[in-house]
Amino acid sequence: MSLSIVIQAGGESHRMGTNKALLPFLGVQLIERVVGRVSHLAAELLVTTNQPAEFVFLGLPLFQDTVPGQGALAGLHTALSAARLSYVAVVACDMPFASPELITYQLDCLVNEQVDLVVPLTNQGYEPFHAVYRRDTCLAAVTDALQNGKKRMISWFDQVKVRELDAGEIRRFDPRGLAFLNVNTPEEFAAAEQMAQASEG
């Protein structure tokens, strides 16, 4: 089951005041940490960003938004368009505890249950940037949504077979509840780094 993994680094980082993907987190840039957590799962590893010059150091293929200025849904469209393999995991660059174990389980669910999207559902809603997609069906649905002026990340879910992960399933692979933690402010960044320091030494 060859997997493309796309790291999304297209956010504006307004609340951080600087590009959060490039901030040092336990001695490496945050995006390097995320790449390091998931790269062993990937037959293909890509980054989507609208500032490609800032990420050349990663030595990975870089892709800019296919539909500029259309927000997160356009970023997902870019990720699915850029990936070459049938199964695609999309992970946000600001999730320092992204879970490779959970992604593996999501891929297994996608293939074995013959669905199009395996996405965690928490009290905060869906987590589409820690999800696994069947490329062809999801790309067609996302393209259709964008062409119809839709921007919400879930606006196309009713067009595909969605498998939601519930809290119990998520907890099996993410017992500390940190996989979807994303850092948007300097305070959140510092708190996440402290948590990582405590648990990882």
95-144: pLDDT as tens digits: 999 999 999 999 999 999 999 999 999 999 999 999 999 999 999 999 99
Whole-prediction pTM value?
0.95
CB burial class (10 A; 0-12, 13-18, 19+) of residue 147? exposed
* pLDDT per position as a tens digit, 31-59: 999 999 999 999 999 999 989 999 999 99
Q: How confident is the model at residue 19 (pLDDT cuts 50, 70, 90)?
A: confident
**Alpha carbons 184 and 62: distance in angstroms, whole number:** 22
Q: What is the pLDDT of residue 14?
A: 65
**Alpha carbons 98 and 85: distance in angstroms, whole number:** 21
Answer whether residue 15 shows pLDDT above 70: no
**Alpha carbon 94 to its chain's center:** 9
Domains of the chain: 3-200 (3.90.550.10)
Answer whether residue 175 shows pLDDT above 70: yes
CA dist 190 to 20, 140, 174, 178, 179, Å?
A: 12, 39, 21, 15, 16
Answer whether residue 70 shows pLDDT above 80: no
